[in-house]
Amino acid sequence: MTTTDILEKTKSFLAQFISVQVGNDDDLFASGLVNSLFAMQLVLFVEKEFGVKVENDDLDYDNFRTLNAIVGFIQRKMK
């Protein structure tokens, strides 16, 4: 799966819940668009959609802070 595929699927997921356009490097948490409860939904989406296991050690805001961070995290987990 390409970087673009992962990015587009993740953007589509977020668009279901967030009504504003989000840049690839926008901080989802600092902007208030994502809270800790939604972060768990995001983790479940990543696990289901991309077939990766998010371990306790992976539950770091830096892995989910931006779209680019999420894509990078998924790519690392898929290797």
Structural domain of 23 = 3-78
68: domain CATH number is 1.10.1200.10
Q: How many domains, the chain?
A: 1
Taking only the tens place, the pLDDT of each residue in 16-68 is 998 888 999 999 999 988 888 898 999 999 999 999 999 999 999 999 999 99
Check residue 33 and give its pLDDT: 85
User: What single-letter amino acid sits at 48?
Assistant: K
Q: Are 79 and 72 in contact (CB under 8 A)?
A: no
Asked whether the beta carbons of 44 and 68 are under 8 A apart, the reply is no
